A and B are shown apart, each in its own frame.
Chain A
């Protein structure tokens, strides 16, 4: 797997946890939200292997529920372990974001 896709994978998991944390979400809605935030690079279908993995790791749980309009949908919510994982992701992201931004910007300044 390329560095780019590995990087994206970890970040994407964190983003999915964060969106589900805001309100119970189903697959299609989740992909729309990701695109709205500008992650249009992510192909829509790629969230489903990730959702399966997050379920396997017991970070999220899905339940089939009736939706207001449209057919039954599987809504996801975070488990306690999921909330913990999200907190950890936010912490790690903060730790990485600022130094990486500095490095990239400084280098950009010289060019």
Chain B
């Protein structure tokens, strides 16, 4: 059974938990899912302990009685024993995120600049850039994206197993700050990067075409290997 199907089963079954147990289980779920181990084995064991908790609940037992008082330590014990993700699958998923990110950037740049030129007669129909600095800009932005994703995952992990849940607006502000810095840095890189390498000029609309092609590749990859659903 594929991990994505187990996730669906988990979502349905989880509704049977009492409010207290659900809160505890969902903390465990988030904490355990945010590892870089085999997704298949992660989802299988998450489903197993959910099923166990529901049966224990019917017998009047609490989550602490089943998993011990230190839930975080218990989750760490589990994570330690989950096998690593296959290298090929991890590579595929990484490629999917990169292609998707480039697709968004490329499409917006293409359509945006073309529209500005066409409707407001501003900017240029042709985009000139230097090959060398262009490649460095893309690589730097991808590194910033990676750091951003890792930071957000770390932040989500830090929100689990809190005895006192922090206020919503504090959480919002934290994630807003991380996102703003990420967007700011991504935009800043092409501005401050000095030009070097061969100069190339291409019509801006071709970025949109490239973007759509990248979207298609990402879509096919996702469909074929069931990367996200």
Chain A residues, Cβ within 8 Å of B9: 71-72
Q: Are B51 and A45 in contact (CB under 8 A)?
A: no
Q: Knowing A55-B41, A72-B9 touch, does A45 contact B82 (C-beta < 8 A)?
A: no
Q: Does B45 contact A (CB under 8 A)?
A: yes
The dominant DSSP class at the B interface is: helix
User: Distance (Å) between the CB of A52 and the closest chain B CB?
Assistant: 4
Q: Would B78 and A52 count as touching, CB distance under 8 A? A: yes
Count of CB-CB pairs between chains A and B under 8 Å: 65
In the complex, residue of chain A having the shortest beta-carbon distance to the beta carbon of B49: A48
A50-81 to B contact mask, C-beta < 8 Å, 1/0 = 11110110000010100000111110000000
Q: Is B55 an interface residue (CB 8 A)?
A: yes
* B120, chain A: closest CB distance, angstroms: 57
Which A residues, 1 to 58, have Cβ-Cβ distances below 8 Å to chain B?
Answer: 26-28, 31, 43-46, 48-53, 55-56
Interface residues on B, range: 20 to 34
Q: B1 contacts the other chain (Cβ, under 8 Å)?
A: yes
Q: A53-B81, A56-B83 are in contact. Are A48 and B48 (CB under 8 A)?
A: yes
Chain B 4-24 residues near chain A, CB threshold 8 A: 6, 9, 13
Find B44's partner among A53, A56, A64, A70 (CB 8 Å cutoff).
A64
B88 CB → nearest A CB, Å? 19
Interface centre among A28, A45, A50 (most CB of B within 10 A): A45
Task: Decide yes or no whether B56 CB sits under 8 A from chain A.
Answer: yes
Stretch of B66-74, B98-106, B156-164, B215-223 contacting A (4+ beta carbons < 8 Å): B66-74
Q: Which of B70-94 contact A (CB under 8 A)?
A: 74, 77-78, 80-83
Chain B residues whose CB sits within 8 angstroms of the CB of A50 once the complex forms: 81
B45 near A45: Cβ-Cβ < 8 Å: no
Cβ B51 vs Cβ A73 within 8 A: yes
In the bound complex, do residue A27 and residue B44 qualify as a contact, i.e. CB atoms below 8 Å apart? no
A27 engages B48 (CB within 8 Å): yes
Inter-chain contacts of A46 with B (CB < 8 A) = 68
The answer to whether residues A45 and B1 also contact, given A27-B51, A55-B41 and a CB cut-off of 8 A, is no
A74 interface neighbour in B44, B67, B74, Cβ under 8 Å: B44
